[in-house]
A and B are shown apart, each in its own frame.
Chain A
Amino acid sequence: MATVEEVLESVNRSQASKYKTIEVQKDIEPQLDLGNLLTVDQNPLELKKFRADKEVYLKSQARDNTQLLFNAIWKLPTERVEEAICVKLPETTTVLPREKPIPKVKPPTRWEQYAQLKGIQKRKKGRMVWDEELKEWRPRWGYKRANDETKDWVIEVPGNADPNEDQFEKRMKAKKERVAKNELQRLRNIARATRSKVPGVGLTPTEKPSKEEVGLALHLAKKSTASLGKFTEKLPKEKEAKHVGKKRKFEPAIGDFKKEKEQQLNIINLMENKKPKLDITKVKETQEEFLAMRGPPRKKGSGGFGKKGKAGKGKGVKGMGGKGKGKMGKGKGKGR
C-alpha cells in the first residue's frame, strides 16, 4: 500500500523531470550589473571543449550565463505598467565615461546678486496685456505687442524740443540703443560667468578688430614669455612682423649741447643731495604694515619662517637699495 506521501513524491518527480532545471553551476560567481543587463564571467574557459566544437561550446556558455542573469532579474520587484509586467532595474554599477563634461554651475549675474541681497522675488508676468487703445489682449513683447510706441503714427512734439528734429527717428534711435545695451549686458554676463581669460594689453579692444590690432595682439602674445619671445615657434609660412610695438626714442649722440649739460648737472645734484631718493622711514612703515597684515612670524615650529622673515627683511632693504641704484643707472643712460 503506497502512502499518500509517496504518491505525491512520485507525482512531483515526474513533473520536475518534464522541465529542465534553471540551476547553473559555476566555480566563480559571475559579476552581474543588472542596470546594464551585463554578466561578466571570469571562469577559465575549457579549451578542449572549445577546440572540439567552437559554436556549441560558446552557445552553452552563453546559455548558462544568461540563465544566471535572468534568475537575478526575476528576483527583482515587478510592477504592472499598461498591461505588461515590468521589472524595475537597479542603478548601473559599471563606470562608463561621459559624453560631455559636467556642466558648470552658472554664477549669478549682477542683477541676480543684487536681487538676492535686497530680497527681491521674481514675479512671473503673464504673456498677454490689455491694450487700452485697441481694447483687446495683446502680447507683452514680440510681434504685435501692446503699447508699441514705435508704431505710433502721430507723435506730439514736446514744447522744449527742436522743431526740426524728427521725433520718429528719435524713437527708433532710442530703441536701437536699448537693444544694443541689452546685448552688451548679456555678453558681459556671459564673459563674467565663464570668466574667460580677458586678453591683456592692447588685445582686441573691439569685437571686430582691424588687421593692425590683430597683428599687435599676436606680436604681444608671442613676446610674453620668460625669454621675450626668442624661442616661440613660427608657423611654416609666417613672416616676422617688423615695426611692431613701441618705438624707444633715444636722444641723438651729438644733439642739443645745452640740454645735455642740464641733464648731466641734474644728475650730479641729485647725487650730492643730502636727501636720499628713497624715504627710508616710509619704506620701514610699509614693511611694518605688510608684516602686520601677514601676522607676526611664528616662534616655534616655523623657526625657518622666522629666519626667512629676517632674511626677507634684509633682502627687502637691499632690494630697495638695488632698485634705487637701478633707477640711477637708467637716469645715466638717459643723460648720455
Chain B
Amino acid sequence: MATVMQRIVKPKTQAAKRGLEVRAPKLEENDKVAMFIKGGHTSETITQVLKELYLLKKPNAITFKRKNIMRPFDDQSSIEFFSQKNDSSLFLFGSHSKKRPNNLVLGRLYDHHVLDMVELGVTHFRSMQDFPTEKIAMGTKPCLVFEGEAFEQDHKHRRLKNMLIDFFRGVKANNVRLQGLEHVLQFTALDGKVMVRSYKVLLKKSGSRTPRVELSEIGPALDLEVRRTRLASDDLYKKACKKPKKGKPKKVKNVKTDVFGAKMGRVHMERQDFSKLQTRKMKGLKRQAPSDKENAKKAKTESSEPSAQET
C-alpha cells in the first residue's frame, strides 16, 4: 500500500513530486540499485571484497559506512526497511564469524520484500591492487560469461546465476559503443564452488572485421562456496517475473531529427534586453558617450593651450 500512501500524501514541492515519480512502480523500470552492508563483525578480506564489488557496481550502488548488527537469514525486516528508504532492490551483506568465516549474503527484493537470498563464503580472494595492469572506467557495462553444467542443472545454481546476472549486468542499454566493450566477468561453477574472475578486453587485429579478443586479468578474483540459500517460492518468483503488456512508447516532445541525423530541439526564451546582458566586463573597451568625448577633448585642449602659451 506504499503507493496509495504516496498519493494520499500530496507532495508540496516539485522536487518531492519528482522523487515520488522516480520511486513509483513503472512499466519501464529503473536500473536496480544495490546496497553494500557490513555486519556486526567483519574481516579485512570481507571489507575489501565489499569495497571492490561496490566499485564494480558504481554508480548504481550505495555503501553503508557503519556496521549493522543484523542477521539476514533470521530477520528480514531491517533489510526491507533499508530497501524502502534507499529505493534499492539488491543487497550484498558481508560479515565474519567463527562459524561462518568471510560470509557474503547476496540478495534481491521484490516490492521491498525479500525475494531470494544466497549465502556465499569467500575461500580465496585477490584484490584489484594485486593485479598491476591498467584498469577500466567506472560504470562500463560488463560482458558476462557463465561456465559449468551446475548453472543449468542444479536448481540453486540456476537461481544464483539469475541473481548474478541481475546484480552485475549494469545499465540497460539499447546501443553499445563497439570500442566500449572492455570488461568481462566470468563465473565458473566447478567442484561445488563458484569462481569469479574479471578481465579487461584487448582487441587485436585479425584478418577480418571482427577483432581477435585478448584478455588481461584486472581483478578482483573470488573463489566462493555456496552455503545456505533462501529462495523464493515458484509462484512468488513467477509473479515477480510477470511482464507488462507494452503500451504505446512515450512521445518525447520538442525533439526532432533533421535530414542529416542531427537532433534538434526548440529552446523558448523570454525577451531579453541586450544592453543589460550580464557579460564579462572589460573596462578599456567601454564605449564612451558623445558628451563624455567632448569633455575629454575640451580637457585635452585646455591642458595643451596653457602649455602652448607658456612656450
Contact = CB atoms under 8 A, between A and B. Distances in A.
Nearest to B262: A82
A22 interface: yes
A74 interface: yes
Interface in A20-54: 20-22, 36-45, 47, 50, 54
B143 A103 contact: no
A225 interface: no
A85 B239 CA distance: 39
B147 interface: yes
A100 B6 CA distance: 15
Given A41-B145, A78-B178, A84-B177, A103 B24 contact: yes
A59 interface: yes
B20 to A, nearest CB: 13
Nearest to A57: B188
Interface size bracket, B side: 35 or more
Contacts of A101: 25, 110-111, 239
Interface size bracket, A side: 35 or more
B215 A62 contact: yes
Secondary structure of the B contact surface, majority rule: mixed
Interface string A57-96: 0110111011101110111001101001111110010111
Contacts of B4: 190, 194, 196
B97 interface: no
A98 B175 contact: no
Contact of B237 (A41, A65, A92, A97): A97
A89 B210 contact: no
B29 A40 contact: no
B91 interface: no
A154 interface: no
Contacts of B134: none
Contact of A61 (B29, B147, B149, B151): B147
B147 A37 contact: no
B192 interface: no
A37 B144 contact: yes
Nearest to A20: B212
A254 interface: no
Interface in B147-181: 147-149, 151-152, 161-162, 165-166, 169, 172-179, 181
Interface stretch (B40-48, B69-77, B196-204, B278-286): B196-204
B147 A66 contact: no
A2 interface: no
Secondary structure of the A contact surface, majority rule: mixed
A45 to B, nearest CB: 6
Contact of A66 (B109, B110, B178, B184): B184
A62 B186 contact: yes
Interface stretch (B50-58, B240-248, B264-272): B240-248
A92 B7 CA distance: 33
A98 B197 CA distance: 27
B200 to A, nearest CB: 11
B132 interface: no
Given A22-B206, A97-B108, A102 B186 contact: no
Contact of B210 (A15, A70, A95): A70
A233 interface: no
B27 interface: yes
Contact of A99 (B32, B142, B173): B32
A250 interface: no
Given A98-B242, A103-B27, A59 B215 contact: yes
Contacts of A99: 29-30, 32, 89, 109-110
A73 to B, nearest CB: 7
A63 B215 CA distance: 6
A271 to B, nearest CB: 56
B213 interface: yes
Contacts of B141: 37
A194 B2 CA distance: 12
A187 interface: yes
A197 to B, nearest CB: 11
**Residue from the set A22, A38, A85, A99 with the largest chain B CB neighbour count within 10 Å:** A99
Contacts of A39: 143-146
A81 B257 CA distance: 13
**Residue from the set A40, A89, A92, A196 with the largest chain B CB neighbour count within 10 Å:** A40
A16 interface: yes
A182 to B, nearest CB: 11
Contacts of A45: 147-149, 188, 190
A38 B3 CA distance: 34
B176 to A, nearest CB: 6
A41 B190 CA distance: 13
Contacts of B142: 37
Nearest to B23: A100
Contacts of A94: 162, 165
Contacts of A16: 207
A111 interface: no
A100 B178 contact: no
A84 B212 CA distance: 20
8 contacts: A16-B207, A38-B143, A39-B146, A63-B213, A65-B147, A84-B178, A88-B175, A103-B24
4 nearest A-B residue pairs (beta carbon): A97-B240, A100-B25, A74-B210, A86-B175
Interface of B: 3-4, 7-8, 10, 24-27, 29-30, 32, 89, 108-111, 115, 141-149, 151-152, 161-162, 165-166, 169, 172-179, 181, 184, 186, 188, 190, 195, 197, 199, 201, 204-215, 217, 237, 239-242, 244
